[in-house]
Chains A and B, each alone.
Chain A
Amino acid sequence: MRPDLLRLYRMMLTSRRLEEEIARLWREGLISGEMHLGIGEEGIVAGALDHLGDGDAVAADHRSTPPMVMRGVDLTAIVAECLGAVGGLGRGLGGHMHLFSREHLAASSGIVGSSGPLACGFALAHQRLRPDRVAVAFFGEGAMNQGMLLESLNLASCWRLPVLFVCKDNGMAITTPSARVTSGNLPDRVRGFGLPAVEVDGGDVEAVWQAAGEAILRARRGGGPGYLHAACVHPEGHFLGDPLRRLVRHPVDELKDKVGPLMRAVASTSGGGVRERAGSLAGITGMIGRAAAMRGRDPVARLRARLRADGGGLEAVEREVESSVQAAVRAALASLEEVPA
C-alpha cells in the first residue's frame, strides 16, 4: 500500500490553514474561551483518517477541528461554530470543543479520555449494524492516565471491537510534563491489555498512514482493536494563550507580577526544607525550559518538502486550499450577522 501524498497534503494543509485562521480570529477577540488547536497533529490525523470511508466513525478530543476537516465536514460550519454563529455546525451552541457531525458519525468532547468509551460504543454499533466499519479514537498521552480510557482499552480488547486508538503524544499533560505523571511505557501498557501497539513518528504522515492502514484493515476483518502511538509537537502549547508559551515568548512581561511572590514564597520563614524548596524551583524552571525547547517536526512542512522534491501539483493544491479556507472564513464571519433567536 502507498498513500496518495498529494491528497494527504491537501487534507493536512486545509486543516492547518483553517486553524491558523481560527487562531487569528481568536487573537482578534472574535472567538471566546479556550482554543485548543490541532496544529502539529495533522500528520497523525490525516494518516489515520485517510483510510476511513462512509459509515466509519470518529471520536475526537478537545482538538477536534482537524478530524472534522479531514472527514469532510463543511469548513464554513466549523469556523461559524467557533464564532458562535447560528450557521455553525451546532448552531453556535457547542463551540470549538464540542463539534458534532451526525452525518459523519463524528463527535468530540472537552473531557479528557472520553473519546475512548465513545469510540467503543461506535464500534459496538458497527458490529451489529455496519459490519466491516471501524471507529477511530483520538486522545493525547495525558489521557492515557484517565481511567475511562484504560477501561476502554480493556473493553475493546475483550469484545474485539473494531477501534483504532490513536495516542497523539506531545509530552505535556495540560501544562505538566507527562513524564512526571506517567509510569512505565505507554505502548507496553497497551500491550498489557492484549492490543497490538505500534509506535510511529507523528511528524511523518506516510509512516502513520502505513501503520494506521494495517491496524484499520485488521479491525475491519474482525481482528479487534489496535493502538497507534505517535509523537508530535504543539507549537502553541495546550491552548492559545498557554501560560508556559507566553512565559517563553515574553518572559519579562509575564514574569514581572510572578517573580516577587515566588521569591517571597521561596524565602518564607515557614514551609519546606531548603532541599525541598530547591527541588521546587528546579521543577518550575524545568517546566519553562521544556516549553522553550518545543519546536520542529512540523508534519505539514515535512510533507511539503518531500512533495516539492517529487515535483508537480503542489502549487495548484495550495491555491485551492487557500481559496476554500478564505471562502469559509468570509462566509462564517458574514453568518455572524444573523441574530440568534
Chain B
Amino acid sequence: MRELTFSSAIEAALAQAMAADERVVVLGEDVAGLRMNLYARFGESRVRPAPISESAFLGAAVGAAMAGLRPVVEVMLVDFIPVAVDALVNQAAKLEAFSGGRWQAPVVVRATCGGGYGDGGQHEQALWAWLAHIPGIAVVVPASPDDAGGLLLGALAHGGPVVFLEHKLLAEDWLDFLGAGGRTNQVYDIPPAGARGPVPDAWVPIRLGASRTRREGGDLTIAGVGVAVHSALAAAERLSAERGAEAAVIDLRSIQPLDRTAVVEAVRRSGRLLVVDEDYRDFGLSGELAATVLEAGIPARYARVCVEGTIPYDRRREERALPNIERILEAAERLLAM
C-alpha cells in the first residue's frame, strides 16, 4: 500500500495500462502538458495533443476503438461533451446493438465534473444522468484515489464506451488549473479522504456496476457518487453523534451500470432512502433510484438533495445550490421523523 492523490492515482493506473497494452492511447486537448509524464514516457504516437475539435477527435476515438485501439480521450470538462455528443449518443452507444452484439467501441472519455470553486454554470455541471440515459454508455464517478485508479482500469476493460468523470474538488491538478490558478487565498471544501488516500501497489480493475458501502447503518440509506459520498458520510457521522441514528452510505461508483441490488437491499432494511446528487434533480439519478425502489415493491420513505437549476457563479449562492451537509441533514431529519 502507498498513498496517492486522486489525480496521481488515475495517472499511475493509466501508466500501468499503457505499459501493459500497446493499444491504449491518450488523445485530447492539451494532453502534452496536462499528461506531461505520460507524454514523456510513451511519446507523441501514444499521447497525442488534439485541436479544439471535440466532435472530430471524440468521433475519431470511437472509430479508432472500433478498429482495435483502446483510446482514452480527454475533453477537459464534461460540459464540453455536449459539443461532440453525437460521437457518443448516436455512434459509440449504438454500435453494439446495431451489430447484433458483434462489435463494440471500447473508448474511455475522461472529463472533469462538478462545482464548488466558483466557475459558473457552464463549467461546473455533473451531467452524468444525462449521459447515462442513453443505452450503451457507461458512466463512472469515482470518489477516492483507490477507486479512481481501479475504476479507470475497469473502464478500459468494460468493452463499450465509458465516460469517466473526475470531480474537481477531488482532482487537485484540475482544481488548481481551473480554480486556484496558483493562488493560495481560495478556500475549497475538499473532502480529505477523497482527494488523497491509500492505493494498491499494483492496480486491479474494479468491475463497473459494483457499488461500495462506505458506512453501515440500519435507520437510513444514503446513496450518491463523487463528492456527495463524502458529504453524506459527514452528515451520517453527525446524525449518529447528535441523534443516535445510523445511516448507511452507498457509493454507487457508476451511474450506468447502476448497482440497483445494493440500494434495494439496503432500503429493504432501513425503509428510508435519501439520494444526494450533485447532478440536476429532474429526470436524473435521484428519480431513477426512487423508481428502482418502487419497482422492487418497497414502501420506502424517500427524499433527495440535488442541484435544482443552473449553478450560480456567486460562491455564496453556489454553496447553497450544491448538496451541502446542512441540506443533507435537513432531509435526513425529515425522513427519520416519518
Contacts and interface: CB of A to CB of B under 8 A. Distances in A.
A338 to B, nearest CB: 11
Nearest to A275: B43
A284 B51 contact: no
B56 to A, nearest CB: 7
Contacts of A241: 176, 180-183
A142 B45 CA distance: 22
A262 interface: yes
Contact of B123 (A34, A148, A281): A34
Nearest to A254: B182
Interface string A266-302: 1010111101110111011001000000000000000
B240 interface: no
A276 B313 contact: no
B120 interface: yes
Nearest to A86: B314
Given A97-B120, A181-B51, A272 B45 contact: yes
A84 interface: yes
Nearest to B187: A29
A271 B314 contact: no
Contact of A34 (B32, B33, B56, B178): B178
Interface in A246-267: 246, 258, 261-262, 264-266
B191 to A, nearest CB: 19
A54 interface: no
B323 interface: no
Interface string B38-71: 1111111111011111111000000000000000
B313 A92 contact: yes
B90 interface: no
A317 B31 CA distance: 45
B179 A32 contact: yes
A95 B83 contact: no
Interface in A161-181: 173-176, 180-181
A35 interface: yes
Contact of B40 (A34, A145, A277): A277
B185 A93 contact: no
Given A34-B119, A174-B30, A182-B51, A262 B37 contact: yes
A196 interface: no
B333 to A, nearest CB: 24
Contacts of A268: 19, 41
Contacts of B54: 146
Given A29-B185, A32-B117, A84-B118, A176 B33 contact: yes
A226 interface: no
Nearest to A146: B52
A187 interface: no
A183 to B, nearest CB: 9
Contacts of A182: 51
A280 B40 contact: yes
A283 B179 CA distance: 26
A174 B29 CA distance: 8
Contacts of A28: 185
B261 interface: no
A55 interface: no
B123 to A, nearest CB: 6
Nearest to B43: A276
A63 interface: no
Contact of A93 (B29, B43, B313): B313
A311 interface: no
Nearest to A273: B43
A145 B41 contact: no
A287 B181 contact: no
A266 B310 CA distance: 44
Interface string A178-220: 0011100000000000000000000000000000000000000
A169 B279 CA distance: 36
Interface centre among A81, A97, A143 (most CB of B within 10 A): A97
Interface in A40-94: 81, 84-86, 90, 92-94
Contacts of B41: 265-266, 268, 271-272, 277, 280
Contacts of A110: 79, 120, 122-123
Interface in A223-248: 239-244, 246
A97 B77 CA distance: 15
Contacts of A258: 36
Nearest to B8: A261
B271 interface: no
A308 B250 CA distance: 69
B312 interface: yes
Contacts of A265: 15, 36-38, 40-41
25 contacts: A32-B118, A33-B119, A92-B312, A94-B121, A95-B118, A97-B120, A97-B122, A110-B79, A110-B120, A145-B53, A147-B55, A147-B56, A148-B83, A173-B52, A174-B30, A181-B51, A239-B181, A261-B37, A265-B15, A265-B40, A272-B42, A277-B43, A279-B44, A280-B41, A283-B32
Given A84-B317, A92-B317, A280-B40, 15 more contacts: A26-B181, A32-B186, A84-B315, A93-B314, A94-B121, A110-B79, A111-B79, A242-B181, A261-B37, A270-B19, A272-B42, A277-B40, A279-B43, A280-B39, A284-B39
Counting from the closest, the 5 A-B pairs by CB-CB distance are A241-B181, A32-B118, A276-B43, A84-B314, A95-B313
Interface of B: 15, 18-19, 29-30, 32-33, 36-47, 49-56, 79-80, 83, 117-123, 176-183, 185-186, 310, 312-317
